[in-house]
Amino acid sequence: MGLQTGRLGQGLGPSAAVGAPAQKLHAPISAETHFRLRVPATSANLGPGYDTLGLALEWRDEIQVSARPRRDPEQPEVGVVVTGEGAGDLPADASHLVITAVERILAAKGYHLPDLDVRAHNTIPHSRGLGSSAAAIATAVKTADQLLPGGLSDDEQLQIGSRMEGHPDNYAPALRGGAAVSWLASHTSELVFRTAPLQVHSQLRCVLAVPSFTQSTQAARDLLPGSVPHEQAAKNSSRAALLVHAITANPRLLLDATEDYLHQEYRRQAFPQSMALVDELRAEGFAAVISGAGPAVTVLTDEAHAPEAAASIQAFTSQHPGRETFAASNLPIAHTGAIVESLR
């Protein structure tokens, strides 16, 4: 539950009004309810799959929610306790952006926010390109789903969260798990997001190089050019198509498949140490890429070579001492997304 920025993407979109509807808001629940959510970290882009490809990792934030009917019809009572990442920095009341997102989703459905007690334990690092914002949005959507009478349909959960995030490459895997190709449908009159799951090869593993430093997603995006040469675009298309094959059927092709021609080089000045690590790992034969908007580095590999990749990351840090360091984490793919457990 680590959403820190004020950006909620494009809101709930044209199919769901933002803010309270004209009619009086109703109570979403009639009795106390308690549940736990566990939401995975994600790594997006994966090299050439810019704003399109992403996968979920077994590294999860966890929250417990206790909800009850509002005692004060004019104002909800909301308490938030955050431990781990963001503790002491994130709001501990209804101004927390996860809570405001839940409130907006409920209001669009004609319901007000109930009284809430939320305890969040965050483990996904913030501002590293590991999907902490997507995890927070998935948390908000799943919380609203639990509170609303009848819940939210699977497609509503995809559309609402994708619109809040702005693009579904991180959000879809956080919500549903596994790896996915996601896109914005171009044949509709409104924003409609689509996602297709990939059957991940059984040997695929992800080794993360988690940096001690952070990077603003918007700052990284601001470095991208408005257009790229046709030759670069063609090369990137071939690599993105090959990457789908490598992830699902032949991990031996991952090094070629993760070559990027759209974004990483343009962002090198934002995280030179991360790019230096990518260069060194790729020279050693590892399929290393910048994770999301960075500065974390993802190595896509198989089970047999994951320990070698982790050792190379640690060796790089030892050979380049200083304030900017990397910690290696060998993680399996999370085949389930946001997990909801009822607490009685």
30's CB contacts (< 8 A; 6+ apart) are 69
pLDDT (tens digit, 9 = 90+) per residue, 240-249? 999 999 999 9
Residue set of the binding site for ATP: 125-135
CA torsion through residues 98, 56, 125, 183, sign: negative
pLDDT at 233: 94
Long-range contacts (CB closer than 8 Å, 24 or more residues apart) made by 315-321: 316/209, 316/276, 316/277, 316/280, 316/281, 320/273, 320/276
pLDDT tens for residues 306-315?
Answer: 999 999 999 9
Q: pLDDT tens-digit profile of 3-61?
A: 443 344 444 543 443 444 546 899 999 999 999 999 999 999 999 999 999 999 999 99
Residue 171's CB is within 10 A of a number of other CB atoms, namely 34
The residues, ordered by sequence, that sit 6+ positions from 134 with a Cβ below 8 Å of its Cβ are 42, 161, 165, 170, 171, 173, 174
Q: Where in the chain is the domain with CATH 3.30.230.10?
A: 33-196+336-342
Right CATH number for 204-331 from 3.40.50.10190, 1.20.1250.20, 3.30.70.890, 2.40.10.10? 3.30.70.890
Binding site per annotation, positions: 125-135
For residue range 211-255, what is the model confidence (pLDDT) as tens digits? 999 888 888 888 888 899 999 999 999 999 999 999 999 999 999
Helices (runs of H) and strands (runs of E) counted in the chain: 9, 11
Listed in order, the ranges of the chain carrying CATH 3.30.70.890 are 204-331
**Domain 33-196+336-342 belongs in CATH node 3.50.50.60:** no
